[in-house]
Amino acid sequence: MVLKVKNLSKSYGRHQVLNDVSLEIRQGEIVALVGPNGSGKSTFLNVIANILNGDSGKVEILGKSNKDITIYQKYSYMIDNTVLYGYLTGLDHLKFVCETHKLSKELIRKAVELVGIKGFINKKVKEYSLGMKQQLLFTMAILNEPEFLVLDEPFNGLDPTTIIKVREILLNLKDKGTTILLSSHNLAEVDQMTSHIVFIKDGKFIEEDISKYQEDIYYFTVNDSKKTKSYLLDFISNCEFNKDNFEDKITTLNEREIAVKTKEISLNKIIKLIGEVDEITNIRKEIVGAEKRYIALYGKV
């Protein structure tokens, strides 16, 4: 077991943030920690990292107590940018991590190239944007090639291109056996990376396999989205499906883009049908599920 948390509680005064929570994470899993601001996500991550003390409970990381400093040879925690020093360069921070963990300097070159921060690595951090700071923090977190990687809001402040890059890096790390626990408000990215979600509500954990709530949405670029939608609905009305059930699953977004969200008809069948009435110039896919479950648990904002 990579992470084993048993009966953990944490309070600030009379406010109990974590109430007797337990969690186990196995090797090679990506687990998302999700909840509104103030629900206790960062508190939980800080307690397992031994930055904060829990009021009660037990935490083990890679088979050792979380108070054993030797775990940090194989465990890494990406916290917020308050840990960065404005008067130092990004390279200074990476060298410090290498010296602390007694790592080869070659790992800096590999991590910098992987994340793509070479263009600003020699600038002082006080000149960094929020996104640049996040990229530096992420590079620092993966520098020691950890077996267990914990990330607190890793996508915060990143542009879409960098979000995609970070997601791909994390999925590649997972494929190589790295275990990842991340907290995030970016539910679209959570859906792209995992179906194993731990929601925090009223100090308790609600651990779920979100795959049963997930649906694939396909976005088609065509010449005439209204004509295409009408054709699809006409086809459905002549099948065993109830047309009314599909009215909200086939949506025209603009004159040329249509979104189709359904498990009842295969992608290949949808492509064939659209091809009978219009030309498809682009297809993109989105997975949704975490947001649906989030709204069910917490309500709409």
Examine the fold and report which residue of 185, 212, 239 is the final residue of a domain before the chain moves on. 212
User: Are 83 and 176 contained in the same domain?
Assistant: yes
Q: Reduced to 3 states, what is the DSSP secondary structure of residue 182?
A: strand
Distances (CA, A) of 300 to 20, 35, 185: 27, 13, 14
Q: How many domains does the chain have?
A: 2
Q: Are strands 30-34 and 179-183 parallel, antiparallel or unpaired?
A: parallel
pLDDT at residue 243 greater than cutoff 60: no
- The rounded distance, in Å, linking the Cα atoms of 167 and 284 is 17
Q: What is the average per-residue pLDDT within 8-19?
A: 95
Written as six digits, the tokens of 187 are: 């539910």
pLDDT at residue 240 greater than cutoff 60: no
pLDDT of residue 239: 66
**Which phi and psi angles does 175 have, rounded to 5°?**
-65, -25
pLDDT at residue 213 greater than cutoff 90: no
- Single pTM value for the model: 0.82
Q: What is the average per-residue pLDDT within 161-183?
A: 96
User: Are 236 and 141 contained in the same domain?
Assistant: no
Which CATH number fits the domain that encloses residue 113?
3.40.50.300
Q: Which amino acid is at 137?
A: L
- The rounded distance, in Å, linking the Cα atoms of 175 and 59 is 25
pLDDT of residue 211: 81
**Which phi and psi angles does 273 have, rounded to 5°?**
-65, -45
Q: Reduced to 3 states, what is the DSSP secondary structure of residue 178?
A: coil
User: Are 56 and 87 contained in the same domain?
Assistant: yes
Look at the alpha carbons of 149, 153, 155, 158 in this order and tell me if their dihedral is positive or negative.
Answer: negative
H or E stretch covering 4: strand 3-12
User: Are 230 and 169 contained in the same domain?
Assistant: no
User: Are 173 and 232 contained in the same domain?
Assistant: no
User: Are 169 and 233 contained in the same domain?
Assistant: no
pLDDT of residue 34: 95
pLDDT of residue 214: 75
From the centroid of its chain, how far is CA 188? 8
Give tens-digit pLDDT for 103-120. 998 999 999 999 999 999
User: Are 185 and 229 contained in the same domain?
Assistant: no
Examine the fold and report which residue of 212, 241, 266 is the final residue of a domain before the chain moves on. 212
Print the domain residue range for 29.
3-212
H or E stretch covering 161: helix 160-175
User: Are 241 and 202 contained in the same domain?
Assistant: no
User: Are 65 and 203 contained in the same domain?
Assistant: yes
- The rounded distance, in Å, linking the Cα atoms of 231 and 227 is 6
User: Are 9 and 31 contained in the same domain?
Assistant: yes
Q: What is the average per-residue pLDDT within 66-81?
A: 94
User: Are 206 and 218 contained in the same domain?
Assistant: no
User: Are 68 and 31 contained in the same domain?
Assistant: yes
Q: Which of 179, 274, 176 lies closest to 223, judged by CA?
A: 274
| β-sheet with 282-288: strand ranges across | 250-252, 257-261, 215-221, 282-288
Which CATH number fits the domain that encloses residue 218?
3.30.70.100
Examine the fold and report which residue of 195, 212, 229 is the final residue of a domain before the chain moves on. 212
DSSP label at residue 69: G
- The rounded distance, in Å, linking the Cα atoms of 229 and 29 is 39
Q: What is the overall mean pLDDT for the chain?
A: 91
